[in-house]
């Protein structure tokens, strides 16, 4: 038995020695990749999340910019439309409604019975219409009266204000003085039975202010032609008889320009 068992023990010992002598297996590089893959995936996920956030921010920024640009365009179009329609400054209109003699003082002139030294007062009814949605202010102005190109009278128009879409009427007094008329008429004064063509020139500065923002300055000019008819009872103008004795305005024609 002993002889038979010895070889078995020897064989077992030999196998143990062989197993102990075997080299240990080297770790394969693919055995522990799990940590690296997870980190890579996390990095990719973080990068993707950041890129998504950047895209969202860009979209929001583009949306905000688009909204701002659209709002500015709309506001600009609205302002342009209002400026061309409602807020557009329209030219005021000045009209001479009529002229009449309100006072007259006569006396014999240097040329005899057919001449008369006359101080006449003419009153002109002038209206100023403002078609704008804002008030119109005009400064003090003057009206010059001419006969044959020479000044025979100067009248002053006070400053005033015309409300939005309103019309203001005013009376302008024109004094025709005998000495000035005599200087133009070669010292004879007015002659009975004749007509005298007078011209007037009025210059007026005005300003329109819309909503306290937009201002526009205007200059109004008006030229008028007035026919002064000097008549009389039985061909003689009675001194001191007044306008009813024959001095009257026969015709008025006016042209107004605004610049």
Quick check: 27 pLDDT over 70? no
Q: How far is residue 232's CA from residue 248's CA, in Å, rounded to a whole number?
A: 10
Question: Comparing C-alpha atoms, which of 7, 189, 221 is closest to residue 105?
Answer: 189
Quick check: 107 pLDDT over 70? no
pLDDT tens-digit map of 35-90: 566 666 666 666 767 777 787 888 888 888 888 988 888 888 887 777 677 677 88
> What pLDDT does residue 88 have?
78
Q: How far is residue 128's CA from residue 141's CA, in Å, rounded to a whole number?
A: 13
Q: How far is residue 194's CA from residue 191's CA, in Å, rounded to a whole number?
A: 6
> What pLDDT does residue 187 have?
60
Across the range 3-8, mean pLDDT stands at: 50
pLDDT-derived band at 237 (thresholds 50, 70, 90) equals very low
Q: How far is residue 209's CA from residue 207's CA, in Å, rounded to a whole number?
A: 7
pLDDT-derived band at 236 (thresholds 50, 70, 90) equals very low
pLDDT-derived band at 96 (thresholds 50, 70, 90) equals confident
pLDDT-derived band at 166 (thresholds 50, 70, 90) equals very high
pLDDT-derived band at 240 (thresholds 50, 70, 90) equals very low
Quick check: 254 pLDDT over 50? yes
7 belongs to a structural domain: no
Of 8-12, 94-98, 204-208, the range with the highest mean pLDDT is: 204-208
More confident residue, 72 or 33: 72
> What pLDDT does residue 34 have?
52
Q: Which residues contact 181 (CB under 8 A, 6 or more apart)?
A: 118, 147, 152, 189, 190
More confident residue, 157 or 20: 157
Count CB atoms within 10 A of the CB of residue 238.
14
182 belongs to a structural domain: yes
DSSP assignment string, 87-137: TPPPPPEEEEEEEEEEEEEEEEETTEEEEEEEEEEEEEEEEEEE-SSS-EE
142 belongs to a structural domain: yes
pLDDT-derived band at 167 (thresholds 50, 70, 90) equals very high
222 belongs to a structural domain: yes
The C-alpha angle with vertex 88 and arms to 86 and 93, in degrees rounded to 5, equals: 110
pLDDT-derived band at 243 (thresholds 50, 70, 90) equals very low
44 belongs to a structural domain: no
> What pLDDT does residue 43 have?
65
DSSP single-letter state for residue 246? S
Mean pLDDT score across all residues of the chain: 74
Count structural domains, the chain: 1
Which CATH number goes with the domain that contains 153? Answer: 2.60.40
Question: 217 — phi, psi (to 5°)?
Answer: -95, 140
Phi-psi bin for 165: left (phi > 0), alpha (psi -120 to 50), beta? left
Q: Which residues contact 107 (CB under 8 A, 6 or more apart)?
A: 116, 117, 178, 239, 240
- The domain in which residue 154 lies consists of 93-258
Of 47-56, 76-85, 166-175, 191-200, the range with the highest mean pLDDT is: 166-175
175 belongs to a structural domain: yes
170 belongs to a structural domain: yes
pLDDT-derived band at 233 (thresholds 50, 70, 90) equals very low
88 belongs to a structural domain: no
Q: How far is residue 26's CA from residue 21's CA, in Å, rounded to a whole number?
A: 15
């Amino acid at each position: 038995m002993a002889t038979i068992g010895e070889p078995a023990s020897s064989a077992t010992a030999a196998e143990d020695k062989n197993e102990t002598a075997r080299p240990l297996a080297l770790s394969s590089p693919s055995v522990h990749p799990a940590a690296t893959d997870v980190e890579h995936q996390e990095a990719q996920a973080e990068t993707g999340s950041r890129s998504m956030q950047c895209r969202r921010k860009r979209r929001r920024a583009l949306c905000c910019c688009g909204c701002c640009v659209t709002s500015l365009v709309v506001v600009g179009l609205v302002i342009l439309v209002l400026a061309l329609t409602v807020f557009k400054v329209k030219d005021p209109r000045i009209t001479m409604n009529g002229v009449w003699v309100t006072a007259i003082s006569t006396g014999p002139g240097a040329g005899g019975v057919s001449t008369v030294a006359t101080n006449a007062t003419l009153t002109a009814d002038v209206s100023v219409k403002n078609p704008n949605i804002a008030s119109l202010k005009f400064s003090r102005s003057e009206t010059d009266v001419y006969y044959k190109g020479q000044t025979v009278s100067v009248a002053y128009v006070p400053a005033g204000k015309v409300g939005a879409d309103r019309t203001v009427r005013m009376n302008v007094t024109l004094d025709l003085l005998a000495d000035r008329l005599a200087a133009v008429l070669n010292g004879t004064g007015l002659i009975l039975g004749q007509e005298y063509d007078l011209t007037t020139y009025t210059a007026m500065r005005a300003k329109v202010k819309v909503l306290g923002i937009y201002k526009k300055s205007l200059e109004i000019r008006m030229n008028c032609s007035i026919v002064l008819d000097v008549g009389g009872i039985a061909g003689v103008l009675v001194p001191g008889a007044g306008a009813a004795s024959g001095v009257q305005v026969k015709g008025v024609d006016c042209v107004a320009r605004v610049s």
